[in-house]
Amino acid sequence: MRTGKRGTAKEKAARVNVGPLVATGALIAALAAFALPVRAETVIKSHGISTFGDLALPADFTHLPYVNPDAPKGGEMSQWAPGSFDSFNPYAIAGNPAALASIFYESILSGTADDVSAAYCLLCETMEYPEDRSWVIFNLRQDVKFSDGSPMTAEDVLFSYELFRDKGIPEYRSVANAKFQSVEVLDPYRIKFTFSPGTPFRDMPGQAGSLTIFSKKHYIENNRDLEKSSLEPFLGTGPYVLESFKPGQQVIYARDPDYWGEKHPLNVGQNNFDRIRIEYFADDNAAFEAFKGGVYTFRNESLPKRWALEYEFPAVQSGAVIREVLPSGNIAGGQSIIFNLRRAQFQDPRVREALGLMFNFEWSNRSLFYDLFARVNSIWENSEMAATGTPTPEEIAILQPLVDEGLLPASILTDEVRMGSVSSADNALDRRNLRRASQLLDEAGWVAGDDGIRRNDKGETLRMEMIHSRTDLMPVMNAYVENLRALGVDASFDIIDDPQLQQRASPPDFDFDALPTTVVNGGLEPGGVLKQAWASVARDNSSRNRMGYANPAVDRLLDQVEAAASRQDLTTVIRSLDRVLRSEFVVVPRYYKKDNWVAYYNMYERPENLPPYAVGELAFWWYNPEKAEALKASGALK
């Protein structure tokens, strides 16, 4: 096990120069120098850690700056979820987990909704780590209890680490396990994580602190299995427990009245609802009608047509339902259409570029989305990490060695970054883009026959079957299919049920040609999670790398993402990575909404100033019983 102790430059120089010393006096002096005490390693002890810079909150903070510390407890918050569920285990590939299935659990550290760099002690009193972050010790709180009242100790932390190490989903194990050299219980409330030499240590204390903690005793005594779906949750320390459920229809979570962390500064003003209820509906139309009827009470709208035209029902007009546009500082969701790069027809980037040219965002936004969406160009859209123009000198310094080794083309150093295709808003089919796409497919050997269908020299058709379970995607996807067919592509968009989608879109099947989905970008402070989505090692075992992407140049860039020593360094590396990924046309970028569109029954209240990275309706909003009674008296709520 590493001690983490490092020699100073002077000590290293002394070791190198001992051999040539022959004069007795010099030799004695050198040996005397070695007898001096080695300088102790600087160990930082803190109430949290920040990836870059200092923590914003002092050790004695009493509550988060964006919450109402006097928010009352009580009432119910209810929302909807699509499809169905058959499990409360969100950590297994098997099964379809219920919404909010991780609500029972906590981690040693907790982030905040106003600072993406910070993580503060939740289950720990303090943490200790050296300047190079090669290890971390968590000094655990001694008052933390599981929801059955049993104490949480370092043994539970070690057990949880080993559980995810051995039984976590393959994409996690393939990336994370090699980073941990050892985990050691120092005493019942102290645990040390030591990280593997050669690992970029910047994010590792935070990664260790993000570990979900289960009860070792409960898991073993009940013969649980992390790899299997189950309708019984594991035992956690979180503020909510399972009250009741109807498989595939409804879930109700209840606030634990004996929750250990009620007065923790991170929790003051949060976890305010006595109950959180989730109602399941087969599709969005049924869910919207249920909302209008008061079956559930908070809705985050995603459909622009509905937001533009259908929120004038009586409850909105009377004020019983509040309709708000709330700002969002989040990075764009990366909504795209991904190609299954394991399929032969998508190997040539010219093919992928041609297929991307057929997506007409401008027409879709005007005709289908009421000009409420913005275009996605970058995988890190709506952030400073999105690549723009030609590479900066700092980006060139990162990309040049990869060009020199033949891992990237020299054009990456001089070309403008690839943008999403620009199309006419007047017609669904842009003729200019059609001509360019036709030329690209001809060059790639996919030639249109007498029937208009494109085939290669083996007589195989250029097929592109897209699948999803969301019916609301049909208008825009059907328009895309029609454009692809005009190009000679054997294209289709098929609606399938959720379980079938999960199976076909996940390992080991990956049984699809293309898939409308959200591309993983790692959020506003990307780190190791990007390897689960883009690294070669995750090509065939990761539900985050559904496209099967593998590129040694990108692997090298991902290492630099983890090793970035400053926010500026991270931004530069991500811009370089973004530039490379966009140059390969591995996704068809679609669109995103910059704001949050929410509607809710007028019995909820919230802080006036919301944090930039969360609406927080389940976290720091609260219930007003007088308003609720007024709604019931008026007949707006049952």
Q: How far apart are CA 409 and CA 566, in angstroms?
A: 28
Residue 393's contacts (CB-CB under 8 Å, 6 or more residues apart) are none
Confidence of residue 10 (pLDDT cuts 50, 70, 90): very low
Q: Got the DSSP string for 469-524? A: S-GGGHHHHHHHHHHHHHHT-EEEEEE--HHHHHHHHSTTT---SEEEEEPP--TT
Residue 55's contacts (CB-CB under 8 Å, 6 or more residues apart) are 46, 47, 48, 49, 118, 120
Domains identified in the chain and CATH numbers? 1-41 (no CATH), 62-104+238-324+598-638 (3.40.190.10), 105-229 (3.90.76.10), 335-592 (3.10.105.10)
Write the pLDDT tens digit of every residue in 54-108: 999 999 999 999 999 999 999 999 999 998 999 999 999 888 999 999 999 999 9
| Dihedral angle sign, alpha carbons of residues 602, 607, 609, 613 | negative
User: For position 145, what pLDDT does the model report?
Assistant: 98
Q: Answer whether residue 253 shows pLDDT above 80.
A: yes
Residue 402's contacts (CB-CB under 8 Å, 6 or more residues apart) are 408, 553, 556, 557
Q: How far apart are CA 592 and CA 115, in angstroms?
A: 23
Alpha-carbon distance values, 322 to 288, 311, 315 (Å):
15, 10, 9
Please provide the average confidence, as pLDDT, over all residues in the chain: 91
| Dihedral angle sign, alpha carbons of residues 601, 606, 609, 615 | negative
Q: How far apart are CA 501 and CA 520, in angstroms?
A: 18
In contact, 516 and 335? CB cutoff 8 Å: yes
pTM for the predicted model, two decimal places: 0.83
> And the tokens for 598?
């929410």
Confidence of residue 30 (pLDDT cuts 50, 70, 90): very low
| Dihedral angle sign, alpha carbons of residues 618, 619, 621, 627 | positive
Per the listing, tokens 């970028």 go with 589
Q: How far apart are CA 85 and CA 105, in angstroms?
A: 19
Cis peptide before 508 (omega within 30 of 0): yes
Write the pLDDT tens digit of every residue in 561-600: 999 989 999 999 999 999 999 999 999 999 998 899 999 9
